[in-house]
Chain A
Amino acid sequence: MTGMTAPLRTWRGRVAVGLLVMLALLPWYSPWLDAAGIISQRFALTVMTRVVILAIAASSLNLILGYGGMVSFGHAVYIGIGGYTVGILTYHGIGSGFVQFPLAILLSALLALAIGALSLRTRGVYFIMITLAFAQLLYYVAVGLEAYGADDGLTIGRRSDFAGLIPIRGPNKFVAFYLLSFVVLLLVLGLVHRLVNSRFGMALRGTKSNDARMQALGFPTFRYRIVAFAIAGALCGLAGALLANHTEFISPAMMHWTRSGDLIVMVVLGGMGSLLGPVYGAVAFLLLEEFLPAALAMVLTWLHAGLTAVLGAAAAGDLDAWLKMAEYWQIALGTILILVVLYARGGIDGLFGRSRHG
């Protein structure tokens, strides 16, 4: 039993377990939040489902970026592949999730294998740019698909059918789909944990710190890196299949290069090369995106009230003009991002104590 309680001995572990418990119990306490008038249950579940799905995608990127040192700037392409697999199959009447999900994972893995085989020959910034180029290539394929909505995308309208076993289409579909996504996240985190602590993961982390030395030790590092790259692609494709089900809509925008940028931001914001870092990152990034305007409006209201109290109403001016500033919340988000890069290297996970794995 010591293995089960081990995470609770450090603050870092307690925060991690706390977050997972909070996420797991959301469907049970969100009705209270609704009743208290804080946030509607449906909205909370919708936002958090998105958080959980993007946490899966960010975790898959963390495997290659955080542990393998491969800065893929085209990771959102696998979200697109997963999403388009579900969308196109549904469009042609194949609604079974038992067909859609395995195919989404398989196609993403194959694509990642192909992209990896060509990209991993390059290093450094050339690797960043070639992964970006392949992602753009696939983005323009989607833009050119007139039959599936081209630029405008395709509304799916029907979620995947798991032979009635997983009720994501029934009356409780919000709760059921949230729980499905959360269970997938746990499985993905478990897989990443097993992988990075196995011999394979040790070798992968070795290639991050010194590839030449690993080769000298006799490791076929290219093979380790490409296998990790393909696994990351497959897991991200899974996230894409979930995302298409969540929004019931696919479009090329899913794999726009700024979405790949968002994924990198989540991984780094949360803490690279830490198991739960991407989950913190996804929570922080999407909650900032969702609630930063409201939070800014609140702060501006306080400031306005303060100024009115000190200098009088004339000097403070019209509150509405102040509140208009909250529309420009991306300025705040960008500033936060720059400050994190400049002054908080370990990301959110680094705030709770040092990682044992570094």
Chain B
Amino acid sequence: MTLLIEQLLNGIQLGLLMFLLAAGLTLVFGIMDLVNLAHGSLYMFGAYFCASFSAWTGSFVVGALLALPAALLLGVLVEVVVVRKLYRRDHLDHVLATFGLILIANDLVRLVWGPDGRRIPLPAWLSQPIRLTPDLPYPAYRFAVILVGAAVALLLYWLVGRTRTGMWIRAGASNRTMIGALGVNVEALFTLVFGLGAVLAALAGLMAAPIVTVSIGMGDNILILAFVIIVIGGIGSIKGAFIAAMVVGMIDTVGRAFLPDLLKSFLSVAAANTAAPAISSMMIYLLMAGVLVWRPTGLFGARS
């Protein structure tokens, strides 16, 4: 029972991280109609910025707080230099150009930070377990990730649903020509949304960094998962991204935790240990294929 609750919390934590990454992606996708493969690179830069800043200041929290504006600057820079020229192009051009951005980003990181991975050390108060109930210890850092992730999700919900900027963003998602005609500065709005996406991606990257190792290409595989999430949820839908991220986080965590034991009852130990993560990854893609066959524009997607 304790194990199950712990794994469920892990699932929520992974789901929230994935949501932060997917939220930026789905906003950019829904509003600018841009397929941004380089979103995973922003996630990677977030982690590297945090690694450098926390080594420099000696504090993980200060490092993280400095990494976010750095990621915002980087996002705005990329938008102005390259991405802005892509809005009027088709999806194929987006895929190609942002694929090029990935190549540049990975080598740039190798140039600046070197080929070796980095670990970000946590402060003492975050690296010990806390007791959620008397007999349920849980790593404090993972719990903090859940809290921050949930807070940012709520903030995003408020920003998009309750503010004037959010109104522009929603209006932009449904008809970008019209909001331009109504006098909204579309160019600035797009830059803002791209920058916001970059900050969210960087936040996900730097929060994942102490759990996984900071390494080159760390964003490449998780990016595909983020795409899976926004496609399942329906492109442009924050709500869809949230639900899909939670489901994907659960499947991945619970699958990895419980499948090996299940498989060991009829496979050899080695085979079960290889097959289990592969099967839980497969289930995610199977889910996506199933959702798309059933609803070709995702769970909450309106447009095709």
Binding site for B on A (CB under 8 A): 65, 71, 73, 118, 121-126, 128-130, 132-134, 136-137, 140-141, 143-144, 146-147, 150-151, 257-258, 261, 264-265, 268, 328-331, 333-338, 340-342
Contact = CB atoms under 8 A, between A and B. Distances in A.
Interface of B: 29, 35, 37, 82, 85-86, 89, 91-93, 95-97, 99-104, 106-108, 110-111, 220, 224, 227-228, 231, 235, 270-271, 274-275, 277-279, 281-282, 285-286, 288-289, 292-293, 296-298, 304
A134 B89 CA distance: 26
B123 to A, nearest CB: 34
Q: Which residue, of A123, A124, A340, has the highest number of chain B Cβ atoms within 10 A?
A: A124
15 contacts: A73-B95, A126-B235, A129-B288, A130-B289, A134-B285, A140-B282, A143-B278, A144-B277, A146-B270, A146-B274, A147-B271, A151-B274, A258-B220, A333-B103, A334-B99
Tell me the dominant secondary structure on chain A's binding face.
helix
A130 to B, nearest CB: 5
A128 B91 contact: yes
A337 B94 CA distance: 11
Contacts of A133: 228, 231, 285, 288-289, 292
Nearest to A125: B91
A140 B285 contact: yes
A328 B109 CA distance: 10
B71 to A, nearest CB: 20
Contacts of B279: 140, 144
B292 A130 contact: yes
Contacts, number: 142
B103 A334 contact: yes
Contacts of A338: 82, 97, 100-101
Contacts of A125: 29, 35, 91, 235
B285 A137 contact: yes
Given A126-B304, A330-B107, A268 B97 contact: no
A147 B92 CA distance: 37
A136 B278 CA distance: 10
Contact of A122 (B101, B104, B270, B296): B296
Nearest to B100: A337
Given A123-B296, A132-B227, A331-B103, A150 B274 contact: yes
Contacts of B285: 133-134, 136-137, 140
A24 to B, nearest CB: 30
Given A126-B231, A126-B297, A330-B106, A265 B99 contact: yes
B292 A141 contact: no
A150 B231 CA distance: 28
Given A121-B293, A122-B296, A123-B296, 8 more contacts: A123-B304, A133-B292, A141-B278, A143-B274, A264-B95, A328-B111, A334-B103, A341-B97
B296 to A, nearest CB: 4
Contacts of A329: 107
B92 A146 contact: no
B41 to A, nearest CB: 11
B304 A71 contact: no
A334 B278 contact: no
Task: List 4 tightest A-B contacts by C-beta distance, closest first.
Answer: A144-B278, A337-B100, A334-B103, A334-B104
